[in-house]
């Protein structure tokens, strides 16, 4: 047999039914819809409004926004050119949202913009469980407020989504990165601290020490982690205003009863953050432990051409990782929805009538399925069962003559004769109980 095309490694199809892809369950399309609907519901409670930006963005936007030295920009972009235009498949949505905010002068809508999104992102990472090349994020961006309450609200919103799924066993890690001046001072201090240990560092870490020393803070190498114990801590290099902002934020989280762990080494893999940075972890994710992450990015607007900073804070979450955490806690997710009725035809004439009846019932608002392969009655009944239809509507020569169908409630096996003209009303009514 010829082999047919396969999807690209690190991407996956979402099918009507759940299936297994390399040892990880890919949930059904209905499960994805359920997750998206729950996210939308929580977003609406925070009065966040949806924004949809293109999958394709100018490469320069991502390079400037996310940062030239980040892994995302230096190694993981799916970028290409057409004529003079440089395109990138968006690796994240914060920079595109800020682009849209500036481009469309969304500040003129007044007040704070609470925006949310759900959609695919693309990063050329090494695929593994919880890490894909096409993955899906939901997230929210609060644009226009400097107040630490905006930071606290974004964190509360993020946690509210996980709570809506019954996921409580999560850890919020929190840090402050200070203002634009704090990090250069800290980077110098880190470089000075590590200089005598250069020989002990891996080649990657040696390179990072020169280009982006903050990246050393999330090293996985045991020896390097031990060195970190004595390393300077970012908090000691932070400007007083950022420190005050951080203290206020912690107080607000305490007010809301939100537990957090302060992590002075949390720096995040994107360059646009100032002040607040946070990550949400789940013990169920293994190596890819981050369910979601975010922070404040008041200077991103300037990178994108604005004369003025635009205070903003947001988070984004991986939907695939949410599914992994849900599976670990045994949460049942919906499968394909059954039709309200499955129409069974006996003979050609009945099949022709059933074809017309199906459209009439659908026009009346019912979900209706039927056979298109001319199969036997037994095969049609089997199909109705497989689809979990609560009713089958059986029509043969006798029923055509009497203009009455045999309606069988699949659960109880009870059968009733129902006039063709009354079918829609009958099928919409309650399934009769066993007597």
In the complex, the residues that contact ligand HAM under the rule CB under 6 A are 92-94, 123, 125, 130-132, 135, 137, 139, 141, 269-270, 290-295, 297, 314-318, 320-321
By beta carbon distance, the residue nearest ligand HAM is 318
**Of the two residues 162 and 370, which places its CB atom closer to ligand HAM in the complex?**
162
Residue 348 burial (C-beta neighbours within 10 Å; 0-12, 13-18, 19+): exposed
* 63-80: b (≥16 Cβ within 10 Å) or e: bbbbbeebbbbeebbebe
Beta-bridged to residue 137, according to DSSP, are: 119, 318
359: number of Cβ within 10 Å: 10
**Of the two residues 322 and 343, which places its CB atom closer to ligand HAM in the complex?**
322
CB of 296 to ligand HAM, least distance (A): 8
**Of the two residues 59 and 94, which places its CB atom closer to ligand HAM in the complex?**
94
CB of 145 to ligand HAM, least distance (A): 14
CB of 184 to ligand HAM, least distance (A): 21
350: number of Cβ within 10 Å: 21
**Of the two residues 246 and 391, which places its CB atom closer to ligand HAM in the complex?**
246
Of the CA atoms within 13 Å of residue 127, those in its CB half-sphere come to 14
CB of 115 to ligand HAM, least distance (A): 10
What token pair was written down for 39? 């996210």
Nearest one of 385, 382, 381, 395 to 348, comparing CA atoms: 395
**Of the two residues 208 and 275, which places its CB atom closer to ligand HAM in the complex?**
275
CB of 423 to ligand HAM, least distance (A): 47
Name the 3-class secondary structure at 140. strand
**Of the two residues 92 and 383, which places its CB atom closer to ligand HAM in the complex?**
92
CB of 291 to ligand HAM, least distance (A): 6
**Of the two residues 23 and 430, which places its CB atom closer to ligand HAM in the complex?**
23
**Of the two residues 120 and 335, which places its CB atom closer to ligand HAM in the complex?**
120
CB of 190 to ligand HAM, least distance (A): 21
CB of 17 to ligand HAM, least distance (A): 22
Name the 3-class secondary structure at 434. coil
Residue partners of 77: CB distance under 8 A and separation at least 6:
59, 62, 88, 89, 91, 123, 124
Beta strands in 83-195 (DSSP E): 85-89, 113-122, 134-143, 171-176
Nearest one of 36, 14, 38, 37 to 26, comparing CA atoms: 14
CB of 182 to ligand HAM, least distance (A): 18
CA–CA gap between residue 419 and residue 3 (Å, rounded): 51
Sheet holding 415-419, edge to edge: 368-370, 341-345, 391-395, 404-409, 415-419
**Of the two residues 25 and 377, which places its CB atom closer to ligand HAM in the complex?**
25
């Amino acid at each position: 047999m010829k082999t047919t095309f396969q999807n690209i490694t690190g991407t996956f199809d979402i099918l009507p039914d759940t299936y297994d892809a390399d040892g990880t369950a890919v949930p059904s399309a209905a499960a994805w819809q359920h997750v998206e609907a729950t996210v939308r519901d929580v977003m609406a409670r925070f009065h966040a409004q949806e924004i949809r930006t293109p999958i394709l963005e100018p490469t320069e936007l991502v390079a400037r926004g996310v940062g030239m030295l980040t892994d995302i920009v230096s190694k993981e972009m799916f970028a290409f050119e057409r004529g003079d235009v440089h395109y990138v498949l968006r690796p994240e949505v914060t920079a595109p949202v800020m682009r849209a905010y500036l481009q469309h002068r969304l500040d003129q809508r007044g007040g704070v913009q609470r925006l949310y999104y759900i959609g695919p992102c693309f990063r050329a990472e090494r695929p593994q469980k919880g890490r894909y090349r096409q993955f899906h994020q939901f997230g929210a961006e609060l644009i226009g407020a400097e107040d630490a309450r905006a930071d606290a609200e974004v964190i509360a919103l993020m946690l509210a989504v996980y709570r809506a799924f019954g996921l409580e066993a999560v850890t919020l890690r929190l840090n402050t990165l200070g203002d634009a001046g704090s990090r250069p001072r800290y980077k110098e201090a880190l470089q000075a601290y590590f200089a005598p240990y250069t020989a002990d560092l891996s080649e990657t870490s040696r390179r990072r020490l020169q280009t982006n020393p903050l990246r050393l803070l999330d090293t996985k190498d045991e020896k390097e982690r031990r060195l970190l114990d004595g390393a300077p801590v970012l908090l000691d290099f932070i400007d007083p205003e950022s420190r005050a902002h951080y203290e206020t934020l912690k107080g607000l989280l305490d007010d809301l009863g939100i537990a957090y762990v302060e992590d002075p080494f949390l720096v995040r893999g994107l360059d646009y953050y100032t002040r607040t940075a946070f990550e949400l972890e789940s013990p169920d994710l293994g190596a890819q432990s981050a369910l979601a992450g975010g922070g404040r990015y008041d200077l991103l607007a300037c990178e994108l051409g604005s004369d003025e900073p635009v205070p903003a804070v947001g988070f984004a979450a991986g939907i695939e990782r949410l599914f992994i955490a849900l599976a670990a806690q045994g949460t049942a997710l919906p499968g394909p929805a059954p039709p309200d009725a499955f129409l069974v035809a006996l003979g050609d004439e009945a099949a022709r009538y059933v074809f017309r009846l199906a459209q009439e019932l659908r026009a009346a608002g019912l979900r209706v399925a039927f056979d298109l392969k001319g199969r036997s009655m037994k095969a049609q009944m089997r199909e109705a069962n497989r689809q979990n239809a609560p009713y089958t509507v059986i029509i043969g020569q006798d029923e055509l003559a009497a203009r009455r169908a045999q309606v069988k409630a699949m659960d109880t096996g009870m059968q009733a004769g129902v006039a063709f003209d009354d079918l829609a009303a009958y099928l919409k009514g309650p399934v009769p109980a066993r007597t």
